[in-house]
Structure 1
């Protein structure tokens, strides 16, 4: 089965651009809806952030992301290793995927788009599983940010 290189999701959020942006780029707010214990952390371009995942069943996993770009109220991106959840496995030798969040005005709210690309560089032995799990995961995360921000409508 051929696995595509990218996952793309979008959602229309009934919130101000400022609130959506803060939910993405304020590390503590991001952690609240994404399921990572980021209290006291900050997202800084070029720096790596590590924190325990709080999502039930994955508490043994440390979320690790290198912040790529922060273009105010437009683009937030980071590199990470998709579905890097097995204990005792060093994923740092792998080429990470790129996660890009973009926001744009779309009356009556804000269109949030997330694209995760680079699955073709994930080792073949775990590529399909990583793609499948992250595909499902992004569905969940779009619902999580929607709930976090309050009422929203699917795009």
Structure 2
């Protein structure tokens, strides 16, 4: 199966831009809806961050990301290794994907768009599984942030 290079999702959040931005870029808030133990941590452009996943069944996984961009109230991006959940496997030699969140005004709130790109660079042996799991995961995460901000 040919795997697309990107996943795109969009959700209309009935919240102010500042609230959406804080939910994305305040590490503790992000961790609350995303399912990562980020208490006491900060997102800083150009820096890596690590924390345990809190989602049931994945507590053994350490989430590792590098914050790429923080454009106030507009764009937040990080790179990571998608579906890097197997114990004892070092994913560090793989090319990471890029996750970009962008905010757009809408009369009823804010459109939040997420694009994860770079799947064609993932080793073929795990590319399809990573794409499939992250595709489902972004559906769930868009629901999570919507519920968090409701």
Q: TM-score, normalised by structure 2?
A: 1.00
**Number of residue pairs the alignment of both structures matches:** 150
Unaligned runs of 5+ in 1: 151-155
Q: What per-residue deviation string (whole Å, max 9, x for no partner) do you get for residues 89-137 of structure 1? A: 0000000000000001011110000000000000000000000000000
| Deviation for aligned residue 1:86 | 0.1
How far residue 24 of structure 1 moved from its aligned partner, in angstroms, is 0.1
SS of the residue corresponding to residue 92 of structure 2 reads helix
Secondary structure of 1:93's aligned partner: coil
In the alignment, which residue of structure 1 is the partner of 2:20?
Answer: 20
Aligned with 2:129: secondary structure?
A: helix
Distance 2:47 2:129 in 1: 28
* Pairs within 5 Å for 1:46-85: 46-85=46-85
Post-superposition CA distance 1:36-92 (Å, at most 9, x none): 000000000010000000000000000000000000000000000000000000000
Residues 24-43 of structure 1: matches in 2 within 5 Å?
Answer: 24-43=24-43
In 2, the alpha carbon distance for the partners of 1:78 and 1:144 equals 19
What is the Cα-based RMSD across aligned positions, in Å?
0.3
Structure 1 length-normalised TM: 0.96
After the TM superposition, which segments of 4 or more aligned residues of structure 1 sit over 4 Å from their partners? none
Aligned to 2:144: 144
